[in-house]
Amino acid sequence: MIGAVGIVDCMFAPVALRFRAYALELPVDTQGYVEHWLADEDMQQWIADAEREEWRIEHEEVGVALS
């Protein structure tokens, strides 16, 4: 992050979650940026809200094989 949070940072939030879900090895500076956002209070709330969701799109879940 450079300076105040901007729209680019907001657009990156789902990407940070994908990096985490797929356990990708990232360059140190990129990993630091991802970790910064995953620790963010608002991101943590978003994750908690999502985990409480009761419905799923099964074919979109990580590790689910497509037929």
For 23-61, how does the pLDDT look when each residue is reduced to its tens digit (9 = 90+)? Answer: 899 999 999 989 998 999 988 998 899 889 888 888 777
Judge whether 27 and 62 are in contact, CB under 8 Å.
Answer: no
Identity of the amino acid at 66: L
Query: Model-level pTM?
Result: 0.67
